[in-house]
């Protein structure tokens, strides 16, 4: 069975830039840049085959994708646990290290005299040794970070991901500062980006539970997303309720809850949206925050409307969001915020505010001298 390989054109663009940066001061930069592109291509492909062949040995159906900044192996099929997943991750760097040893051996034979072949072998040696060492640093999403995650998950279960991402975040900052200090500014910037990614992943992982590692639930979640993508909402609804009930809490629970709330919002069932989203309000995606803002307004939970007003309007500067926020502020006798939101509604496209301020909600502040629109 062949392992599918998909290559993005940006892979060659990035490889070419790396090659050009390293050869632009030489007498033959174009030829040497092509050598760099070939070396990077072979090195990353061999690395990814290390993951993919091991994954296939354990019964999965892997596929490889070469993207702008490297390669990815997607191990589709039954989820591997423990030492099997550890080997799948580890064999990528091992294959890269074996390629380094092969290139080093060919150099040591002194058989080749052509300068371009010698240059290719030297770059092949340096690239694979450097990448193997860097890639084994315990920082996600590098392989070293994935190995750290597997170890933590084996010991701590679902909480292991939280510990792994926190450790990765801390170490990413340290490695970033180190690489900046020794003059490797591009690599330092990449590790700084890793630190930011791990911070976001750590925030999300705090709500992870064992249900998020359940293959049956993740499989059903994929079916649900396929239904939603195909606009098959009626088929998705009962499955969402089933998965949500089984998950109880965690990332899958939060995600299915938000999917379900979006379907309820399409039917203007504001009470259902409110009941679904309020308990997980600190874990909502942007669209769900807007749904909850409207639902809270409809059920007259004005403190929640005000709490969500800023984030909702920032995500979608819709005049109706501003109007609902102004009414909520007025209902709670908050004059200055109410006036501010009315002005925001005006800037967002509502020219005549008189029908709005005539609503009953503004009776509490209508006679207040600070209520000037």
Q: What is the pTM of this model?
A: 0.68
Specify whether 110 is located in the same domain as 163: no
Of 185, 206, 227, the residue that ends a domain is: 206
Residue 76, classed as helix, strand or coil, is: strand
Together in a domain, 11 and 97: yes
Q: How many percent of the chain have pLDDT more than 70? A: 99
Please give the DSSP secondary-structure letter assigned to residue 32: H
- Above 70 in pLDDT, residue 373? no
The two three-digit tokens of residue 234, written as one number: 């009626």
230 with 187, same domain?
no
Same domain, 20 and 108: yes
Do 96 and 27 share a structural domain?
yes
Distances (CA, A) of 163 to 28, 169, 199, 305: 48, 10, 11, 35
Q: Stretch 254-280: mean pLDDT, rounded?
A: 93
Q: Exposed e or buried b for every residue in 171-199, given b needs 16+ CB within 10 A?
A: bbbebbeebeeeeeeebbebbbebbebbb
Reading phi first (left if > 0) and then psi (alpha if -120 to 50, else beta), residue 248 is in left
Summarised one tens digit per residue, pLDDT across range 235-264 is 889 999 999 888 888 888 998 999 999 999
Is residue 274 in some structural domain?
Answer: no
142 falls within a domain: no
Give the per-residue pLDDT at 360.
86
Number of domains the chain contains: 4
H helices, E strands: number in the chain:
16, 3
94-152 pLDDT per residue, tens: 999 999 999 999 988 888 788 888 989 999 999 999 999 989 999 998 999 999 998 98
**In whole angstroms, what is the distance from residue 342 CA to residue 323 CA?**
6
Query: What does residue 76 show for φ and ψ, rounded to 5 degrees?
Result: -75, 145
Long-range contacts of 126-132 (CB under 8 A, 24+ apart): 127/39, 127/40, 127/43, 128/43, 128/96, 128/97, 128/99, 128/100, 128/103, 129/97, 129/100, 131/43, 131/47, 131/96, 132/93, 132/96, 132/97, 132/100
Give domain status of residue 40, yes or no: yes
Residue 252 contacts by C-beta under 8 Å, 6 or more apart in sequence?
Answer: 211, 212, 214, 217, 218, 221, 243
- Do 314 and 339 lie in one domain? The reply is yes
Mean pLDDT rounded to a whole number for the chain:
89
* The token pair that represents 256 in the structure block: 């299915």
* Same domain, residue pair 261 and 179: no
Statement to judge: residues 11 and 37 lie in one domain: yes
Q: Per-residue pLDDT averaged across 210-227, rounded?
A: 82
Q: Are 117 and 26 part of one and the same domain?
A: yes
Query: Is residue 213 domain-shared with residue 202, that is, in the same domain?
Result: no
Rounded distance between C-alpha atoms, residue 208 and residue 153, angstroms: 12
Confidence of residue 366 (pLDDT cuts 50, 70, 90): confident
Are residues 240 and 228 located together in one domain of the fold? Answer: yes
Instruction: Answer whether residue 172 is part of any domain.
Output: yes
- Taking the C-alpha atoms of residue 136 and residue 134, their distance in angstroms, rounded to an integer, is 5
Q: Identify whether the C-beta of residue 306 lies closer than 8 Å to the C-beta of residue 334.
A: yes
Residues 194 and 249 grouped into a single domain: no
Please indicate, yes or no, if residue 143 is contained in any of the structural domains: no
List the domain range (segments joined by +) for residue 243. 209-267
């Amino acid at each position: 069975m062949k392992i599918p390989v998909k290559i993005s054109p940006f892979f060659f663009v990035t490889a070419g830039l790396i090659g050009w940066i390293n050869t632009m001061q030489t007498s033959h930069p174009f030829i040497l840049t092509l050598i760099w592109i070939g070396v990077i291509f072979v090195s990353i492909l061999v690395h990814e085959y290390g993951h993919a062949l091991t994954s296939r040995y354990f019964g999965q159906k892997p596929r490889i994708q070469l993207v702008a900044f490297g390669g990815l192996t997607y191990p589709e099929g039954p989820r591997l646990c423990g030492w099997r997943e550890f080997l799948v991750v580890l064999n990528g760097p091992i294959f890269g290290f074996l390629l380094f040893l092969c290139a080093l051996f060919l150099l040591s034979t002194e058989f080749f005299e052509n300068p371009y072949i010698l240059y290719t072998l030297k770059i092949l040696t340096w690239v694979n040794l450097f990448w193997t060492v860097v890639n084994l640093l315990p920082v996600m999403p590098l392989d070293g970070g994935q190995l750290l995650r597997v170890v933590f998950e084996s010991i701590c279960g679902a909480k292991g991901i939280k510990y792994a991402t926190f450790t990765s975040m801390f170490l990413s900052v340290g490695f970033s500062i180190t690489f900046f200090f020794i003059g490797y500014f591009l690599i330092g910037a990449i590790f700084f980006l890793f630190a930011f990614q791990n911070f976001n992943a750590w925030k999300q992982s705090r709500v992870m539970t064992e249900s998020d590692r359940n293959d049956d639930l993740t499989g059903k979640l994929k079916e649900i997303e396929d239904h939603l993508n195909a606009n098959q909402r009626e088929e998705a609804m009962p499955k969402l309720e089933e998965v949500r009930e089984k998950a109880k809490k965690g990332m899958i629970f939060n995600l299915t809850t938000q999917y379900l709330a979006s379907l309820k919002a399409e039917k203007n069932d504001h009470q259902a949206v409110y009941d679904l989203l309020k308990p997980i309000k600190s874990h909502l995606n942007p669209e769900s925050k807007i749904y909850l803002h409207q639902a809270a307004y409809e059920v007259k939970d004005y403190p929640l409307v005000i709490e969500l007003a800023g984030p909702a309007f920032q995500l979608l500067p819709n005049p109706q969001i501003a109007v609902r926020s102004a009414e909520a502020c007025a209902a709670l006798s908050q004059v200055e915020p109410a006036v501010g939101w009315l002005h925001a509604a005006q800037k967002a496209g509502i020219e005549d505010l008189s029908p709005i301020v005539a609503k009953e909600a503004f009776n509490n502040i209508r006679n207040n001298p600070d209520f000037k629109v």
